[in-house]
Structure 1
Amino acid sequence: MIEAAELAKRYGSKTAVDRISFTVKPGQVTGFLGPNGAGKSTTMRMIVGLDRPSGGDVRVNGKHYAQHAAPLREVGALLDAKAVHTKRSAYNHLRAMAATHGIPNSRVKEVIDMTGLGPVAKKRVGGFSLGMGQRLGIAAALLGDPHTVILDEPVNGLDPEGVQWVRHLVKGLASEGRTVFLSSHLMSEMALTADHLIVIGRGRIIADAPISEIIAGQGQSRTRVRTENPGELVRALAADGVTTQQLEPELLEITGADTRRIAQAALANQVLVYELTPLQASLEEAYMQLTGDAVEYHSHDLPQAPAGAGAQGGK
């Protein structure tokens, strides 16, 4: 379990993490989301003792990270896959880590096989692709068979097979009763992997709830409706403040009314409806609504080139 209480981190006049409190429980995958600069990496670094908090407290499995006699057996973390001696082989890197905790070489071989590193285990890490480096980082995190696993962007650089493997891995770890804390920018993957979400923005907790509640709590209900008389149905619903968008001649997307209300309006106005499908909001939509005011750097559309620009020949 990870327990943070009023955790804060300041760099001079800048507050990176602003007195946040949360608990990451065992037996589930907890996702950690937030825009760039929101404080995610700083928070993870404080959990494993790489950064000292300016205030508050954070404990893993009941203790500060530095108080654990054998931290690799308590907490496995992937925070920076590049933090490896590039002239060492993957096998020697893991064996050196294992030696600091009395972990047998048989366990080194286990995590190498588990992460698919077997064919490159004796090769220098400096020649690894981004994806293979991620696999090595995950192998290192699992080396001590820890109770708590912290992974920062673990699918970065992985191919589809690797992404699916990470998904099954973290779910399997959680099913064994371990604490799994996972960050990712891939909303589609987080939606498939996480059971619970903690969302941070500008150093503060924006949301801390099961993923289903976060998705359900953002935005209004939307429904796809097919009818031979869309105009009549639009007029009937507009009187109640419901918004509609016509996608095709007989297809509407209706926002702000559930299926029962739409069906009642159609019946009252004798409008034949031959499709009535509720649409679930995506995690990406919920995330964008939650963090809209917490994004530090906003992108803007590029100005369009004047007509004919680029058609002139150079001299």
Structure 2
Amino acid sequence: MIEARGLTKVYGDKTAVAGVNFTVEAGRVTGFLGPNGAGKSTTMRMIMGLDRPTSGSVTVNGSPLTKHAAPLRDVGALLDAKAVHTSRSAYNHLLAMAATHSIPKKRVHDVIEMTGLAEVARKKVGGFSLGMGQRLGIAAALLGDPQTVILDEPVNGLDPEGVVWVRNLVKYLASEGRTVFLSSHLMSEMAVTADHLIVIGRGRIIADAPIQEIITGKGQGRTRVRTDQPDRLMQLLAGTGVSVEVQERELLEVKGLDPRQIATAALEHQVMIYELTPLQASLEEAYMELTKDEVEYHSLITTGADPAEAGGK
């Protein structure tokens, strides 16, 4: 379990993390989301003891990581896959790490096999592709068979097979009762991997809930409606808080009314409906709604605009 209480980090006149409180529980995959500059990396570094909090605290399994006698056996982390001596082989890199915690060589061989690095284990890390580097970083995180696993953008650079492998891996680790804390910018992947989400924006927690609750809570209900009288139905449904958009001929998308209300209005005025489909918001839509006021950098796309000029606004 990871617990943060009043966790704060200030760099000069910039507050990167502002008094956050959260708990990452064992037995589930907890996703960590937020825009660039939101404080995700700083938070993860404080969990790992790489940055010292300005105030507040963060503990792993009851105590700060710096107090753990054998941290590799308690917490495995992938924060920067490039933080490797490039002239070493993958095998020697893992062997050196294992030696610091009296981890047997057999475990080194086990994680190499587990992460699909057997064929390149004796090659220098400097020649690794991005995806191979990620696999090595995950191997290092799992080396001590830790109870808590923290992975920052673990699928970065992986091919589709590798992405599915990471997804299944973290779910398996959680099923064993381990604590899994996962950061990613890939909403589609997070949607099928995480059980719970913590969303941070401008250094503050803006959501901390089961993933389905976040999706249904922030995504405004939408309904796809097909009718041979779209103009008539639009007039009937018009009202405060109701939005009706024409998607194509005889197809409408309605926000602000549930399917029963739409069906009732159509029936009362004898408008035939031949499709009435509730639409659930995606995680991406819910995330964009949550963070729309928390983004530090905004991009502007305008037809005919100078890209350099637009990007600077």
What TM-score results when the alignment is normalised by the length of structure 2? 0.96
Other structure's SS at 1:270 match? coil
In structure 1, runs of 5+ residues without a counterpart are: 307-315
Corresponding residue for residue 283 of structure 1: 283
- Name 1:132's counterpart in structure 2: 132
The residue number in structure 2 matching 1:223 is 223
CA apart distance, 1:239? 3.8
Deviation per CA, 1:49-71: give whole Å up to 9, x if none: 00000000000011110111110
Distance 1:305 1:298, change over 3 A: closer
Distance 1:34 1:249 in 2: 38
The match for 1:75 is: 75
Alignment match, 2:171: 171
Supply the distance in 2 between the matched residues of 1:302 and 1:258 (Cα, whole angstroms). 35
User: How much is the aligned-residue C-alpha RMSD, in angstroms?
Assistant: 1.1
Stretch moving more, 214-223 or 175-184: 214-223
- Report the Cα distance in structure 1 between the residues aligned to 2:303 and 2:228, rounded to whole angstroms: 41
Rounded to whole Å, the distance in 2 between the matches of 1:239 and 1:119 is 64
One-letter amino acid of the counterpart of residue 25, structure 1: E
Are residue 41 (structure 1) and residue 41 (structure 2) matched? yes
1:26-175 alignment to 2 at 5 Å? 26-175=26-175
Q: Report SS of the residue matched to 1:217.
A: helix
Q: Conserved in 1, the CA contact under 8 Å of 2:219 and 2:282? A: no
Which amino acid letter does the alignment assign opposite residue 236 of structure 2? A
Q: Cα–Cα, structure 1 residues 146 and 305, in superposed 2: closer, same or farther, change >3 Å? A: closer
Residue 218 of structure 2 aligns to a residue whose secondary structure is: coil
Task: Judge which range, 122-131 or 294-303, deviates more.
Answer: 294-303
Deviation at 1:270, TM superposition (A): 0.6
Aligned residues: 306
Q: Deviations over 1:256-281 (max 9, x none)?
A: 11111111111111111111100000
Identity %: 75
**Does 2:186 correspond to 1:210?**
no
The structural deviation recorded for 1:41 is 0.3
Question: Quick one: which amino acid aligns to residue 177 of structure 1?
Answer: G
Alignment correspondent of 1:313? none
For residues 44 and 239 of structure 1, the distance between their equivalents in structure 2, rounded to whole angstroms, comes to 47
- Residues 172-221 of structure 1 show CA distances to partners (whole Å, capped at 9, x for unaligned) of 00000000000000000000100000000000000000000111111321
Q: Is the 8 A contact 2:82 2:133 kept in 1?
A: yes
Q: Which moved more, 1:297-306 or 1:95-104?
A: 297-306
1:199 and 1:239, CA in 2 relative to 1: closer, same or farther beyond 3 A?
closer
Closer/same/farther in 2, CA of residues 62 and 261 from structure 1, 3 Å limit: same
User: Secondary structure, in 3 states, of the residue corresponding to 1:157?
Assistant: coil
Deviation at 1:247, TM superposition (A): 1.1
CA spacing shift, 1:93–1:258, aligned 2, 3 Å: same
Contact 2:219 2:280 in 1 (8 A): no
AA of the residue aligned to 2:221: S
Show structure 2 runs of 5+ residues with no match: 307-313
- The amino acid of 1:290's aligned partner reads L
Quick check: 174-183 or 218-227, which moved more? 218-227
Worse overlay, 103-112 or 227-236: 227-236
Report the Cα distance in structure 2 between the residues aligned to 1:75 and 1:144, rounded to whole angstroms. Answer: 8
Query: 1:303, CA displacement in angstroms?
Result: 5.4
CA distance in 1, matches of 2:104, 2:199: 38
Per-residue CA distance 1:282-315 (angstroms, 9 max, x = gap): 0011111111111011001155069xxxxxxxxx
